[in-house]
Amino acid sequence: MKMNRAVLAGIVLLLIENGVVPWLVPAAWSDRLVPHLTFILTLYVACFAGRHRAFLFGLGFGLLGDLLYYGNLIGPYGFGMGLIGYTAGLAFERSIPTLAAVIGLTAIGGLALNTIVYLIYRLFRLTQWSYGFAFYWYMVPSLLLEILAALVLYLPVRRFLFRQSASSGEEPRV
């Protein structure tokens, strides 16, 4: 699989995530709804391209997201996306995931990413929220939006990655 198109898609999703989505979300919900579209693409790279590529993809786009948007601390999203991308690639190393598996992976991975970022922010005392409040106020609404985005992106990404694998002479992983 060539990663050039995946990286280009990641850049486009990063621009949509940071430039378009804030305009679409109402002002009262702007701090609650933050979909991580590049994280979803990282999970797709983990499922269809392997754990090492997903680790580098997640690390790179997580650090880029830390620099561009989140800004309080450089590294939590890079660390979390890289770690979860590697773990997801390890879990789906021997099989091609179904839609239900991808949605479950998105739910578990999104919750794990938000928990990692919360714990790092809590460690450095950048947040005073309790975990229960952060879960209710921030994690669940963002998680629901990420699951919806994963549903919308499933078929285009799957066709894109398999067509790319077949044209490059590589066999899809089974």
Q: Quick one: pLDDT band at residue 166, thresholds 50, 70, 90?
A: very low
Question: In the chain, what percentage of residues exceed pLDDT 70?
Answer: 90
Q: Quick one: pLDDT band at residue 112, thresholds 50, 70, 90?
A: very high
Reply yes or no on whether the pLDDT at 173 is more than 60: no
What the chain holds in terms of domains, given with CATH numbers, is: 4-22+35-167 (1.10.1760.20)
The reported pTM is 0.89
Helix 37-49 with 99-123: angle, nearest 10 deg: 130
Query: Are 46 and 88 contacting, i.e. CB atoms less than 8 angstroms apart?
Result: yes
- The pLDDT, as a whole number, for residue 28 is 85
Sign of the dihedral defined by the CA atoms of residues 10, 139, 59, 85, in that order: negative
What's the burial of 35, exposed, middle or buried (CB within 10 Å: 0-12/13-18/19+)? buried
- The pLDDT, as a whole number, for residue 174 is 41
84-107 per-position pLDDT tens digit: 999 999 999 888 789 999 999 999
